[in-house]
Amino acid sequence: MTHVVILGAGIAGVTAAYSLKSKLGPRDEVTVVSDKPYFHFVPSNPWIAMGWRERADIAFPIAPYLESRGIKFIHSAVKRIQPDVIQVDLENGDVLFYDYLLIATGATGMTDEIPGLAEFTHSVIHIDQAERALAAFRELVRHPGPIVIGAAQGASVLGPIYEYAFLIDADLKRRNIRERVPITLVTPEPWPGHLGLGSEGASRGAVTAALVDTKISVICNALTTRVDRDTIHVAELNAAGTIKQSHTLPYAYSVYWPAFGGVPGVRSATGLVDERGLVVVDEYLRNPDYPNVFALGACVAQPAVVKTPVPVGAPDSVYSIQKAGEIVVQNILAQIGDAPLVSHVPQRAKWLSDMGNTGATYLSEPQVPLRDINWMRQGRWVHQAKVDFEKYFVNRIRLQPADQALSAASRIAGVMSRVLAEKSGEPVPPPKPAPGGGKPLEIRLPQEPCVELRALAKSVGREPDALAAELLAAAVSDAKLFLNEASVEALAIARRELLVEALPERQPGVEFHGGGT
């Protein structure tokens, strides 16, 4: 019997757990450990910070979905990893012994490296941080002032800083206060759109043009030295790495992307991690000194792709994490079966970014120079692609196993519980309105269910059309839980085709990369 322990219940950890459990033998065990009892789709955090998503849209308890597949879930932070004795100590007092360990904890922002960064700026790495950023943004809307969106030296996965700047620009324009809010973007990159990849390609011109069009100022080669309550201090370096100019930036609201480091329970694992607490791996995504320890996602120590005057980390995306996850699963199974391992090199960089009323998609293959493919495309279709991907990925995580019956705690049950509570006068949160007010859909009901619907609506004091719309939306969500993986793929394709036919001018979406993606 083989026991695989996975640390982390995010995009990397959950998908790897699903895949491993489906491929291991019936007596083999998979255990997932997480300091959070829920899964949340990290790439949507910038939309949480704008108020364009709610927590319930992207976060939900993960234990039922893991346990329905025979995967054990433990809600606890990691206290210590002891690879010499193949043991993980948990904060709740549990001790886990493993045959194979997969570290997929994500990373933590090293905000303490810059004085004042943690105290005075906001972040969107985690959903809790994004909710706090939203509260501060709403205060800014009431009292407009300068905004600084920045990335610290050594930060990686820099796409979100551009996306968040464009999102704020679009939101302030809708509120008719954009002209009262100057926006400055601060980045360690040598030019806009560098993204840690080096080659200019089409990205430099496209990103620069987008910044000019939206009147967002940018400071590149930026070394953030200190953050005060109302001022950010930045040293702009030249190509030789010496100070070219110093900037003192006033701000009323600021969101910063810090450099990544390992989470506390992993950071102390001597022999597994580098000086920043990130897990060292070889081309097979396993630790060179402990070949039964693998790592996946933002917790992996990735060298910079190119040398820059101010350090810039390597990019990452949900796409690359999923591809790496396939390699990790394949190599764990190969190691169990004494088969050849598969290399994770070369990598591909691929992601989508929202740019307000348009978007951009980027592909680089391989990720390191000299690359054979390096292109960037823009268009409104990127909005819909991002929305579609979010729904597709969340549906995959919530997919019921083929032999699993639908839970009684369905969405329809939630709708009726709320309706009955409203009728009895109990305080309940109001139903979330449909985006854009909804769209008419002609449905012909036989007489019997039509009468039943009207009678039900009358009995609870609701309009038949409104109640029918809520019940239908809930029923569709419940029905999707019965789909197998092939059907979920088909659903995503059909949904994309239908939405592209009537592509909206401006549709809130989700960004395709972010903290830990």
Q: How many CA atoms lie within 13 A of 72 on its CB side?
A: 11
> Alpha-carbon Rg of the chain, whole angstroms?
24
Q: Is residue 92 located within the same domain as residue 228?
A: yes
Q: Rounded CA gap, 216 and 477, in Å?
A: 40
Question: Domain for residue 391, yes or no?
Answer: no
Whether residues 352 and 432 share a domain: the answer is no
Is 31 among the domain residues?
A: yes
Residue 3 included in any domain:
yes
The whole-number pLDDT of residue 508 equals 41
Q: Assign 437 to helix, strand or coil.
A: helix
* Residue 303 and residue 179 share a domain: yes
pLDDT at 515: 31
Whether 516 maps to a domain, the answer reads no
Q: What angle do CA 162, 168, 171 make, to 5 degrees?
A: 140
- Same domain assignment for residues 343 and 421: no
Residues 161 and 223 in one domain: yes
Residues 115 and 37 reside in one and the same domain: yes
Q: Looking at the structure, tell me whether residues 74 and 219 fall in a common domain.
A: yes
Question: Would residue 188 count as lying in a domain?
Answer: yes
Asked, for residue 490, whether it belongs to a domain, the answer is no
Helix (H) or strand (E) run with residue 293 in it: strand 293-295
In a shared domain, residues 415 and 325: no
- Structural domain total, the chain: 2
Collapse the DSSP code of 479 into the 3-class scheme (helix H, G, I; strand E, B; otherwise coil) and give the result: helix
The pLDDT score that the predictor gives to residue 6 is 98
Claim to verify: residue 175 and residue 43 sit in the same structural domain? yes
The residue segments making up the domain with residue 444 are 411-480
171 contacts: CB under 8 Å, gap ≥ 6: 50
Residue 406 lies in a domain: no
For residues 120 and 229, is the Cβ–Cβ distance under 8 A? yes
* pLDDT in 10s for each residue of the chain, 517 residues: 899 999 999 999 999 999 999 999 999 999 999 999 999 999 899 989 999 889 988 999 999 999 999 999 999 999 999 999 999 999 999 999 999 999 999 999 999 999 999 999 999 999 999 999 999 999 999 999 999 999 999 999 888 888 899 889 989 998 999 999 999 999 999 999 888 877 666 667 778 888 998 999 999 999 999 999 999 999 999 999 999 999 999 999 999 999 999 999 999 898 899 999 999 999 999 999 999 999 999 999 988 888 999 999 988 778 788 889 999 999 999 999 999 999 887 555 554 554 444 455 555 444 444 333 344 454 554 556 677 778 888 888 887 665 554 454 566 777 777 777 776 666 555 555 444 456 677 778 887 788 888 888 888 888 888 888 888 888 887 777 777 767 777 777 777 667 656 554 434 433 333 333 3
Residues 348 and 424 in one domain: no
Residue 487 lies in a domain: no
CATH number at residue 150: 3.50.50.100
Q: What is the pLDDT of residue 298?
A: 92
Q: Is there a single domain that holds both residue 344 and residue 419?
A: no
- Kindly state whether residues 328 and 202 are assigned to the same domain: yes
Question: What local confidence, expressed as pLDDT, does residue 392 receive?
Answer: 81
CA angle 289, 294, 299 (to 5 degrees): 105
Contact of 284 with 99, CB cutoff 8 Å: no
